[in-house]
Structure 1
Amino acid sequence: MQVEDLEKVSLALQENAKDFIEKGLSYIIEDELKDYKYSLLHIFSGTLLFLKDVLYKEHWSFLFQDIDKAKKSDLLENKIISVNFTTLLFRLENLSDVKLEKELKDDLQWMQKERNKIEHFYNPINHHEVRSRIASLLGNLISFINDLHKSDPDFDFDNDYDYRHKYQSLFEVLQKYSLMFETYIEKRSLRIKKDLEACDLVIHCPLCKQKTLEIKIDDGLTICHFCLSEHTTDMFYDKYNHISLDPEFYMDDSNKCPKCWSNKLYENTYEVICFYCFERYEHSELSNCYRCDTLIHESLSGYCESCWEDIMSD
């Protein structure tokens, strides 16, 4: 089997996983109660395909339920009895470096039981429970992919920070639907509440629009606790400082921070932040000097300090 063939199997698993999960999430967003069972079935199947690809990346033979009968030719010809649910979780935890958090395993085990009931018995669905569980799974999958990304030996933060590169399309789907899923937003917000309370500097994230993006000044990093996007502070500023979130407030490139005179000012919806000294200003606190147009902070006279001194000396 050529390397290209192995990659094709992996890509197929990834694409199918994304499609199943996306379809399942669309049922939840549409909120047709009769379709909740299809949401559960699709999301569970997609998640298993995703985890099988994670296992497959460890070694192709791990996909076979009976490793002793594993043949590459059977894999390519789809003549394979693949790992069952129990074996899949066991191999992920014991034959790879992957860590499955208890919360993720609990979600998966619940979904497996519900899937079996749907497929084999009459199963009246508790729709509130389905939404809650899927919301929990959504958050746990995002965290799991994020952890996989960081533990990858090929990870290069400077050049690969936007998406978790090996599962980019799935990560995008999870992020997209999480912002349309009220139950997820509520659960995620509750889960990260304590983390946010311990942060010194938190602003609105330009990606998920939640006030959950922490600026770690000492580390030179930004991390959104809601959508898990990460950047260095320089990367973040370079990428997002041109986005005008408030059309009524315009900052010219010549404007400088009133405290440190740096021109690294970032315009957020509710405030302005200097990405050099990390001073924060509310929009209402800033204005431009009547005389030289320099950005000034809470000036009663309407003039910058230099211009005011010139005026007073005349």
Structure 2
Amino acid sequence: MSDIRFDDRVAIVTGAGGGLGRCHALELARRGAKVVVNDLGPKMDGSGGSSDAANAVVKEIEALGGEAIANGSSVADEAGVQKMIDDTMAKWGRIDILIANAGILRDKSFSKMSIADIKLVIDVHLIGSFLPVKAAWDIMKEQNFGRIVVTTSSTGLYGNFGQANYGAAKLGLVGMMNTLKIEGAKNNIKVNAVCPIAATQMTEGLMPPEVLAQLKPEYVSPGVMNLVKDDAPTGMVLSAGAGAFSMAEIVETKGVFVGRDDDLTAEAVAAKWDQITDKSDQTHFNMGGEHGQNIFARVAEALKS
């Protein structure tokens, strides 16, 4: 198997001043990429901020013999994101890889969560991924090449107490990926998501030290490299942690036709509930139209019988 290399590729990694983003940036640089290290440097609640962390990672990359520049823009600020894109183009003239990794937490039970807590987390995670992807999209289309990775979470896929804001944003990124994989296909733009389990500033205090010791963020980056390589998949959610990897998918049961008009009642649906929820025959759809086709297939089957 040939080595995975990124020579002559230009990569932007947001939230790369520490944790997962830093590991992604360093691994890309080791494999030949020129890297834009973006980090506002905020605390996990979104306060404070400087690009000192980004500058430190740039020095690490340069010590490896690589090329990198620092950027201190907030990913939730449109003008700041545009500056990041403009600075990248001025320096290297292209953008091949974008890893949207920046994030914060405002964990509280839903009854105690303020509207400000909700807006801030959605702004950083969801809008803060939309903005750089949008700003780089036409550049990638013009190049007929682009590799994008957004960072989802098990909270978005499956839920977690006290993280309704975070979970909503993280599942929103999967929805974004599912559409962009379709729109980018003709221009060789591949869009994937990573669902990491890692010991970072965001997970400190959430797990015992002996567990965190097994969850080094650098154990996630090898999987991410496979999501941005030339022959990467597209539309994949890759779960990664502690050296183990799996694929997550949204699936739907085959379902059943219940009826129409006077035959379609709540009680009729209840009577078919076991068939509606039967998991023995489930499918992963690659686009929304396939979901509709599944529904109409059940109708067609009923009409034939």
Q: TM-score, normalised by structure 1?
A: 0.30
- Give the structure with the larger strand fraction: 2
Q: What is the TM-score when the length of structure 2 is the normalising length?
A: 0.30
